Amino acid sequence: MAEHGNVQDLLPNEVLNRTSFHFQPQRNWLNDPNAPMYYKGFYHLFYQYNPLAPEFSRKIIWGHSVSQDMVNWIQLQPALFPSQSFDRNSCWSGSATILPDGKPVILYTGLDEPDRHQVTVLAEPKDVSDPLLREWVKPKHNPVMLPPDDVPYYCFRDPTTAWQGQDGRWRVLIGAKHKDTERGMAILYHSDDFIQWTSHPFPLLSSQVKEMWECLDFFPVSLTGKEGVETSVNNASVKHVLKVSFEEKIGGKDCYVIGTYSSETEQFSADSEITNTSADLRYDYGMFYASKAFFDSAKNRRINWGWVVETDSKEDHFQKGWAGLMSLPREMWVDRSGKRLMQWPIEEINHLRTRHVTSDRRHFESGSRFEILGITAAQADVEVTFDLPVLEDNPQTLNSDKVEDKLLFNRDNSDGCLYGPFGLLALVSQDLSEQTAIFFKIIRCGNGYAVIMGSDEQKSSLRDNVHKFTHGTFLDIDPRHEMISLRCLVDHSIIESYGAGGRNVITSRVYPKLAIGEAAKLYVFNDGTKGVTMSSMEAWSMRNAQINSNAI
Ligand code: DQQ
């Protein structure tokens, strides 16, 4: 694996914004991750793909890559492409299920001819002895599901991984929207043989929100530890996660609820509601959409990928020749409270770490910063921890309306903000005109304190026609008793930031013009009115991963 070199001096910015350890095809368009699985020693990742241009198309197919570590990938021939009347107009998203005899099968969304009706299609490997699962066939009895009468033909898609209930029957969820009420819902189907599927009389979950539920995911999480569990496991020591993707003008939101599921009654009692508001729990508060998780039987863990949507323009996509990336694969488990998911890049990512620097405890006065030197700042992994002075137990109460009114997630330190913003400045240019701040702020809230975690892209690029977001959320920790930690993986034009050991994650998609390659810098900073202490800092240069570079 080659070290990050000086070749960037010769290349245009558009090429330099290309990432070095995030998954993407060699060129052209990628969107949702599909059907990740582990089979006979290989990890498989499929993805929504337009092999002809860096734009979404009316004939989307399934790209396919394999890996032995989920870091380095080999691109294979596309696995699924329009070939029959039921999928002639596209092969949209779907999931894999490993049957009890070890055979993998895929359920995906076909867009049929002539009208692009959404139907569910079953695909099977042509040769189960091929660990690379290069060829897939679509048995004759397809399509296996059609939209029910109360669902419009264009709102019926994205089958989940199937699971077996206590009675041994298969279940699967399909994302939908009700024809009359327009409410989003998770339609439940049953089958004895994976061929004949019947819809259950009521959805497993629906909501008041009048919006299509895309790319559902439904899986158990262990209440007793970090290890993942196979999708059909259901007992007193698991809870279930249901994830819904809500599309937005640019990207979207992956929201989830945790609850208790019984296959006997087909009841899923969620601990909260899906509202498509800021009250929802989200996998990632930045650019991260249409994610898909799978159970990795090789290492007993659950792993999730999301699509990192581009925020530059269509013209830029054509100039670059590519658009769309995957997030890093993230291990997922439920925290001790059973109330939220934790996420962390899979341990294999650490194998890319190379040159290492550390810093001892260091105090940051108001308005100070410190440059992290000695690593490749544009391609780095940084872990930093902050200690705050002792906070009073009963701070003066700040009117909560006022809290709501404020632009909380902005990177300012106006009234109500006790500490911060402090954190990391990534992809910073020499003159500081370009920078992305991944920051924390401590505010008074109710009878205690709240911590805000944000990623401010307002100065992330001097390029025109780039959407710059200010992503932010409340970090679920009590700063009176816990330190604030941050891990940022910086990869040229993506910054994945994990707060408090993975309690909250924010992904920023940025396009620096000056802060590229060797010219990019990285700082720890404190722009708050009070000092804060950095208790530890470790940073590494990251190597390039081999990602689909075999393909032409
Ligand atoms: N992308 C697919 C659909 C899915 C959407 C089409 C989500 O199946 O609902 O490429 O990004």
Q: What is the pLDDT of residues 490-542, one digit of tens each?
A: 999 999 999 999 999 999 999 999 999 999 999 999 999 999 999 999 999 99
- 273 - beta bridge partners? none
Report the distance separating Cα 188 and Cα 182, nearest Å: 17
For 421-434, what is each residue's pLDDT tens digit? 999 999 999 999 99
Is residue 24 a contact partner of residue 547, using CB atoms and an 8 Å limit?
yes
Report the distance separating Cα 67 and Cα 47, nearest Å: 14
pLDDT of residue 406: 47
pLDDT of residue 480: 87
Kindly report the CATH number assigned to the domain that includes residue 293.
Answer: 2.115.10.20
pLDDT of residue 487: 98
For residue 46, tell me if it sits in a domain: yes
Domain count, the chain: 2
What SS3 class is residue 355?
strand
Could you tell me if 341 and 389 lie in one domain? no
pLDDT of residue 3: 45
Domain membership of residue 66 as a residue range? 7-345
Cα(109) to ligand 1 centroid in Å equals: 9
For residue 551, tell me if it sits in a domain: no
CA of residue 135 relative to chain centroid, distance: 28
Cα(538) to ligand 1 centroid in Å equals: 38
User: Which runs of E-coded beta strand occur in 300-402?
Assistant: 301-308, 322-323, 325-326, 330-334, 341-345, 353-359, 362-364, 368-371, 379-387
What SS3 class is residue 231?
coil
Task: Assess whether the C-beta atom of 92 lies below 6 angstroms from ligand 1.
Answer: yes
Could you tell me if 330 and 458 lie in one domain? no
Could you tell me if 82 and 194 lie in one domain? yes
Could you tell me if 400 and 502 lie in one domain? yes
**Sign of the CA dihedral 281, 156, 146, 97?**
negative
Known catalytic residue: 431? no
Side-chain-facing half-sphere of 345: CA atoms under 13 Å: 29
For residue 189, tell me if it sits in a domain: yes
Kindly report the CATH number assigned to the domain that includes residue 527.
Answer: 2.60.120.560
Could you tell me if 330 and 364 lie in one domain? no
Last residue of a domain, one of 315, 345, 375: 345
Residue among 87, 93, 247 to mutate when testing ligand 1 (max atoms within 8 A of CB): 93
Cα(313) to ligand 1 centroid in Å equals: 20
- Which two tokens mark 517? 């390659």
- Which two tokens mark 315? 């013209």
pLDDT of residue 16: 64
Could you tell me if 359 and 340 lie in one domain? no
Could you tell me if 338 and 476 lie in one domain? no
Residues 32, 112, 217, 296: which is the catalytic one?
32
For residue 392, tell me if it sits in a domain: yes
For residue 338, tell me if it sits in a domain: yes
User: Which residue ranges of the chain lie beneath pLDDT 70?
Assistant: 1-16, 393-407, 415, 551-552
Could you tell me if 151 and 210 lie in one domain? yes
Task: Assess whether the C-beta atom of 60 lies below 6 angstroms from ligand 1.
Answer: yes
Could you tell me if 390 and 261 lie in one domain? no
For 341-355, what is each residue's pLDDT tens digit? 999 999 999 999 999
For residue 550, tell me if it sits in a domain: no
Could you tell me if 416 and 280 lie in one domain? no
Could you tell me if 69 and 91 lie in one domain? yes
Could you tell me if 484 and 384 lie in one domain? yes
pLDDT of residue 447: 79
For residue 232, tell me if it sits in a domain: yes
- For the chain, count helices (H), then strands (E): 3, 38
Is residue 378 a contact partner of residue 517, using CB atoms and an 8 Å limit?
yes
- Which two tokens mark 469? 């977001």
Last residue of a domain, one of 302, 327, 345: 345
3-state secondary structure 287-319: CCEEEEEEEECCCCEEEEEEEECCCCCHHHHHH
**Sign of the CA dihedral 68, 69, 71, 72?**
negative
Of 382, 416, 378, whose CA–CA distance to 397 is shortest? Answer: 416
Element (H, E) at 42: strand 42-50
Report the distance separating Cα 552 and Cα 550, nearest Å: 7
Of 267, 373, 334, whose CA–CA distance to 502 is shortest? Answer: 334
For 80-127, what is each residue's pLDDT tens digit? 999 999 999 999 999 999 999 999 999 999 999 999 999 999 999 999
For residue 549, tell me if it sits in a domain: no
Last residue of a domain, one of 294, 325, 345: 345
Cα(276) to ligand 1 centroid in Å equals: 18
Residue with the smallest CA separation from ligand 1 atom 6 is 92
What's this model's pTM, rounded to 2 decimal places?
A: 0.95
